[in-house]
Amino acid sequence: MTGRKPQQVYTLLVEVGRKAGDGLPDGATGAALMAYASGVDEAEAVRETVAILKQADMAPLDVSGYGTLEERLAEGHDISEDERGLMDRALAENAVIVAQVTPFFDEK
């Protein structure tokens, strides 16, 4: 029997709606979260991220995957040292790291 595939870090963009206790600002209709999540594949990384956000009283609606560091570099993405550091931390801690939260507001 072969061993488990190694963990990799995936960049995910998660759209969340509103839920009581979600910590988003008053008046926000939801938010976009940039996260780095470890997993043996992107599906596992997505499942882990959704589960953790639900535990944090957030309401995940949609997840877009942007691949691994290697995949993103191959596509020509510019990845800062800070971003690489967060990816390394997600891998080392087998964790989901939310790097950025951008609230959405309805245009009046």
User: Do residues 66 and 10 lie in contact, with contact meaning Cβ atoms separated by under 8 Å?
Assistant: yes
- 61 assigned to some structural domain: yes
- pLDDT value of position 40: 94
- 3 assigned to some structural domain: no
Alpha-carbon gap, residue 34 to 82, rounded angstroms: 13
Segments forming the whole domain that contains residue 26: 8-105
Q: Write out pLDDT tens, residues 17-75.
A: 999 999 999 999 999 999 999 999 999 999 999 999 999 999 999 999 999 999 999 99
- 47 assigned to some structural domain: yes
- Smallest Cα–Cα separation from 46: which of 54, 34, 38? 38
- Smallest Cα–Cα separation from 28: which of 36, 41, 19? 19
Beta bridge partners of residue 33, listed in sequence order: 14, 101
